[in-house]
A and B are shown apart, each in its own frame.
Chain A
Amino acid sequence: MLNLELFTPELTLAATAIVVILLDLVIPRKGWLVVVSLAGVVVAAGFTIAMWGGSSQAIFNNMLAVDNFALFFKLLFLAIAALVILASVDYVSKFSRFQGEYYALVLLSALGMMLMAATAELISIYIALELASISLYVLVGFLKDPKSTEASLKYLLLGAVASAVLLFGMALVFGFTGQTQLGEIAQAIQGLSLSGVLDSPGLILGMVLMVAGFGFKIAAIPFHMWVPDVYEGAPTPITAYLSVASKAAGFAIILRVFYSAFGLPSWLSLDWGFIFAVLAAIGMTLGNVIAIPQTNIKRMLGYSSIAQAGYLMVGLAVVGFSPAAEVVGRSSLLFFLASYALTNLGAFTAIIAISNKVDSDLIQDYSGMGRRAPLLALALTLCLISLIGMPPAAGFMAKFYIFSGAVQHGLLWLVVIAVINSVISAYYYLRVVKVMWLGEPASEEKVPSSGALRLALSLSCLGVLLLGVIPGYIMKLAEMAAKMFAF
């Protein structure tokens, strides 16, 4: 069936991207590009919201799912794209050429991620992932300075390796089940009547290879090596984009694939739950510890994002360990992703504003920002507090929600590691807070910021506070999204 009306958000975004490129050729005032891009995002979000709450459906011969899970992520990606576009305005207006391409690539990448959240079939998963990734490879190298180019190239080459690994895994899974559609893979696996790992080495190997391929996207250790270099080299708004959208898309696809295709029999889901639990423990610990000596704030946030991916994988482990009917693992993961997205975007937006003025990403150059730019420093402080997981910011509820699910399903050891990690992480996050508020400013010059940037920052910070203080509403949405799997 070709229910094109269910595909309207994606179509809108694709059309907007093309219009933006074309418009760039004819109009001299590039400000309109931002307006058009944002308008496209808003219209797409409107279509998405209109579909929310309906019954789950599949389109294009069961290749794409239109369920609340996909819609939740689509809205998340659209919101992230809008905030990133707003935060990019100052940055991009300095470019002499290719402004239209920049916005179009952001939109196309968002399109790819929206498809990632919706695909339910191995080949289209791969295509959606490549659409999102290739746009990002280009965006990372957008600055054309050595660092940016190096980052882009590394990202591209390692991304290609990860894609190859993923494809290999998919091929193995296909070979053992004869199916590419997730629901049919699940049926085929249950039809095989397997009883343990040693029964089905090929299938397990395929699954592990898929973990590695997706692990690259979410920056799980040991597939994380690209993160610090790429975060440091990419244009800062793109670093922000990578750190939240790309990661969220990775988690969306992992949830979809592992829950739908490998959810049963239960020994299988315990197996991958265990893999993610171990990866979570390693990711949190290494990410946090290595973040401590970093002197560049983008690099530090890179390692921090590795650690945050660790906390998120605690949620994946909970999904693996809990019975299929239980939503707490999935809904806590969705809530954490929403809270993390707002928090990290807020932090990076503040960093963009500050680095525009001081032209440095070194933490020591943030000295005295509390006096030079009190509101920016306040916003950054709020976001860092949220990343530590301290109340009243969103990060506290998010962590609490995930950890409580983990304790309920016998993962107490993992929660203990996670809580110890939160304590360790306070050290490096607070170091930035300390430098900003207690350090001597290098000059008394104020730090200016544009209206668009302030809007993006206020929206993110408002979100961080709202999710922290009245989390109930978003938790309900996350719960609805987690319940409504189509397969």
Chain B
Amino acid sequence: MPYQLVWLIFLLPLFSFAIISLFLRPFLNHKPKLGGYITIASLLGSLGLSVWALLEVMAAPGHSLLVPDINWVIIEGGITIHLGLIVDSLTVVMLIVVTVVSLMVQIYSQGYMHGDPGYHRYFAFMSLFTASMLGLVLADNLLFVYVFWEMVGLCSYLLIGFWFHRPAVADAAKKAFIVTRLGDFGFLAAILLLYFNTGTFDIGQLHSLAITGALAGTTLTWAAIGIFAGAVGKSAQFPLHTWLPDAMEGPTPVSALIHAATMVAAGVFLVARTFPLFSHSVEAVTTVAIIGGFTAIFAASMGLVMTDIKRVLAYSTISQLGYMMLGLGAGGIAIGIFHLFNHAFFKALLFLGAGSVNHATGTFDMREMGGLRKFMPWTYATFLIAALSISGIWPLAGFWSKDEILASALQNQPILFYLAMITVFMTAFYMFRVVFMTFGGEYRGGGAEAHGKPHESPSVMVMPMVVLAILAVVSGFWNVTGQFGAFMGHGETHSFAEGFFGILTHSLPWLSLILAGLGILFAYAMYSAKWLSAERIGGLFKPLYTLFYRKYWFDELYERVFVGKVLVGGFFAGLQGFDTYGVDGAVNGVASGAIATGRAIRRAHTGQLQLYGLFIGIGILAIVICLYFFG
């Protein structure tokens, strides 16, 4: 098949978006199922093409395909921008992640969103999101990466705010949008900086410039830091992490797709995509490792005390994204992306499980759940597998990638290694705290919207969970032989048996397994067997507990101090005051209501018109003075 077909991978969901929003919503809104079917059909097509692309790339020399590109803008002596695709090992791994998870989430959504009045709108946005995410992965120049980067942000904004009748929702959507844009500012600055130093947006060319040393020194470092700022915003790393937990107000399948598996991983992907820029700047690569390692433990600590199941998962996502950044910074592309690959499946599964639980109990508050193991065996079994996987239990997927991150951290960033080891314990603890509080013990009645006894979700929701559970077990096997690393460009391969059991002859995996086991044991002791009282321990560490529970007061710091005091209270109010009282004062509202024409004219004659004229005069004077001093 010709390689032009790769274009279809992201065009198919785009068509699906166009069909749903232009034809189905206006004309066939009484047939809600159609939107879901079209989305799923387009994603099946994309998934098939992605698998084909994966096989082609594996067979191709240098693990990269040449797809013919298009000249988008040519201005003589000005800008030339190509529209092209980059199809290499990194791209195809991401394509598989995005299409698989998106397909599973769309199937699941058929059940979860059943009967929602915004059914078509939901699938239209989901299609648009998937198309943008695939475009982001495929684009071969930074300008287009940025275009799609903004588009996934926009879709995320629309989808978080999907249930607009809940007041917290709109604020969360806005917060997500604004906070991530802070990072985007850095990204855009980096793109401009790179362009005016190299004259190109092309990622391949930037790679070779960085590798040959033509692009080096502070320019390279600042560009890399700028790109990383964008990644910090998107991947909710410290200090821009505050938006992700709030984003959980959106529908749960949205959280599974966007805020667990794909969009938040786009930051990690971006660093990997431009990795030569990082690897040739010690400062940049160290920054990535430190921010990642710190975020991992910082977010995990807040996950320990949350009572909303989705919030726990959100902090867990931030923490795991931190692991990925640490993996990139300390070990390289293969290690960071391998964790991204595995994490996508088990974290999406955890979110779908949380959605399933919510479907049955009408709440996300774990204190109102309990005992669901009996009522929801499938959800329980799949959730348990995902929890074991994320805790890094041999031989599930999470074990393999986490082990590589820990090993590379031990080698290159010893201090971060210790933080990461503590995080292993925390991860296992908070995950099994969720498992025991939700599924163990007796049922505590559910939320206000609960109806009768909880029941297992319909098979359309269970089936995707089972598929993802299988992936959460086996996805890690890809690198048991070292094949994934080799595919990504470095590392040697060995036999499966050697990798599978041989790893247990080392001490590091045992250490992390013991820590994870301890975490699970503590959770069991506190929340299942009740050997230890959670309240007593919370009381014992009261200051720490409060610190974690209030999220280190970061929301307060940002909202009250920065936005509230500095921006709104100071800067904006000052300017607005100037405009309202100085310039605009009498005018506002003068004409409103039934004021006679004559009076309005009289008004216009007196006072502020002269003031306006005066301003023109002052303006001219200011320019003249300015020119004489600086001109």
Give A residues with C-beta under 8 Å from B: 144-147, 149-151, 153-154, 157-158, 161-162, 165, 196-198, 204-205, 208-209, 211-212, 215-216, 221-223, 225-226, 228-229, 233, 271, 274-275, 278-279, 286, 289-290, 292-293, 327-328, 331, 374-375, 385, 390-392, 396-397, 401, 403-404, 407-408, 415-416, 419-420, 423, 426-427, 430, 434, 437-440, 470-472, 475-476, 479
**Which of B174, B177, B196, B619 meets A407, CB within 8 Å?**
B196
Of all chain A residues, the one with the shortest Cβ separation from B146 is A391
Of all chain B residues, the one with the shortest Cβ separation from A468 is B147
- Kindly state the separation between the CA atoms of A479 and B627 in the bound complex, as whole angstroms: 31
Q: Which of B76, B78, B628 has the most CB of A within 10 A?
A: B78
Q: Which of B169, B196, B579 has the most CB of A within 10 A?
A: B579
**Which of A150, A293, A415 meets B600, CB within 8 Å?**
A150
Q: Which of B170, B587, B596, B623 has the most CB of A within 10 A?
A: B623
B164 CB-CB contact with A under 8 Å: yes
Of all chain B residues, the one with the shortest Cβ separation from A215 is B619
Closest A-B pairs by Cβ, 4 of them: A438-B164, A222-B619, A391-B147, A147-B591
Q: Is A157's CB under 8 angstroms from B74's CB?
A: no
- Kindly state the separation between the CA atoms of A209 and B620 in the bound complex, as whole angstroms: 7
In residues 355-373 of chain B, which contact A (Cβ within 8 Å)? none
B576 CB-CB contact with A under 8 Å: yes
- Kindly state the separation between the CA atoms of A261 and B256 in the bound complex, as whole angstroms: 62
Can you give 15 A-B contacts (C-beta < 8 A)? A146-B597, A149-B601, A157-B604, A158-B616, A215-B619, A225-B616, A274-B631, A286-B579, A375-B26, A391-B146, A404-B79, A408-B196, A434-B173, A475-B73, A475-B75
When A147-B592, A475-B73 are in contact, do A289 and B572 touch as well, CB less than 8 Å? yes
- Kindly state the separation between the CA atoms of A397 and B146 in the bound complex, as whole angstroms: 12
B603 CB-CB contact with A under 8 Å: yes
The minimal Cβ–Cβ distance linking B266 to chain A, given in whole angstroms, is 16
When A208-B620, A222-B615, A290-B579 are in contact, do A472 and B161 touch as well, CB less than 8 Å? no
- Kindly state the separation between the CA atoms of A392 and B188 in the bound complex, as whole angstroms: 16
- Kindly state the separation between the CA atoms of A313 and B74 in the bound complex, as whole angstroms: 25
Q: Is B192's CB under 8 angstroms from A415's CB?
A: yes
Q: Is A212's CB under 8 angstroms from B185's CB?
A: no
The minimal Cβ–Cβ distance linking B120 to chain A, given in whole angstroms, is 11
1/0 contact string of B587-609 vs chain A (CB within 8 Å): 10011101111011101100001
**Which of B26, B174, B609 meets A434, CB within 8 Å?**
B174
Q: Is B627's CB under 8 angstroms from A204's CB?
A: yes
**Which of A154, A419, A434 meets B161, CB within 8 Å?**
A434
- Kindly state the separation between the CA atoms of A476 and B154 in the bound complex, as whole angstroms: 30
B195 CB-CB contact with A under 8 Å: yes
When A222-B616, A289-B575, A293-B576 are in contact, do A146 and B604 touch as well, CB less than 8 Å? no
Q: Which of B576, B624, B630 has the most CB of A within 10 A?
A: B624
The total of chain B residues at the interface (CB under 8 A) is 70
**Which of A158, A271, A374, A479 meets B25, CB within 8 Å?**
A374
Q: Is A430's CB under 8 angstroms from B174's CB?
A: yes
The minimal Cβ–Cβ distance linking A47 to chain B, given in whole angstroms, is 28
- Kindly state the separation between the CA atoms of A255 and B544 in the bound complex, as whole angstroms: 64
- Kindly state the separation between the CA atoms of A401 and B192 in the bound complex, as whole angstroms: 12
Of all chain A residues, the one with the shortest Cβ separation from B181 is A423
Which chain A positions have C-beta within 8 A of B631?
196-197, 204, 271, 274
**Which of A225, A229, A472 meets B75, CB within 8 Å?**
A472
Which chain A positions have C-beta within 8 A of B146?
391
Number of A-B contacts (CB under 8 A): 174
Q: Is B158's CB under 8 angstroms from A165's CB?
A: no
B216 CB-CB contact with A under 8 Å: no
B209 CB-CB contact with A under 8 Å: no
Q: Is B169's CB under 8 angstroms from A153's CB?
A: no
Which chain B positions have C-beta within 8 A of A165?
616, 620
- Kindly state the separation between the CA atoms of A407 and B193 in the bound complex, as whole angstroms: 9
- Kindly state the separation between the CA atoms of A7 and B33 in the bound complex, as whole angstroms: 60
- Kindly state the separation between the CA atoms of A407 and B595 in the bound complex, as whole angstroms: 51
Of all chain A residues, the one with the shortest Cβ separation from B71 is A472
Of all chain A residues, the one with the shortest Cβ separation from B162 is A438
Of all chain B residues, the one with the shortest Cβ separation from A292 is B572
Of all chain B residues, the one with the shortest Cβ separation from A396 is B147
Which chain B positions have C-beta within 8 A of A144?
597
- Kindly state the separation between the CA atoms of A408 and B73 in the bound complex, as whole angstroms: 18
Which chain A positions have C-beta within 8 A of B75?
331, 472, 475-476, 479
**Which of B173, B575, B597 meets A290, CB within 8 Å?**
B575
When A149-B597, A165-B616, A476-B75 are in contact, do A426 and B576 touch as well, CB less than 8 Å? no
Q: Which of A208, A225, A472 has the most CB of B within 10 A?
A: A225
- Kindly state the separation between the CA atoms of A287 and B178 in the bound complex, as whole angstroms: 19
Of all chain B residues, the one with the shortest Cβ separation from A378 is B21
Of all chain A residues, the one with the shortest Cβ separation from B619 is A222
Which chain B positions have C-beta within 8 A of A439?
164
Q: Is A434's CB under 8 angstroms from B170's CB?
A: yes
Q: Is B609's CB under 8 angstroms from A146's CB?
A: no
The minimal Cβ–Cβ distance linking A72 to chain B, given in whole angstroms, is 16
Which chain B positions have C-beta within 8 A of A223?
615-616, 619
Which chain A positions have C-beta within 8 A of B181?
423, 426
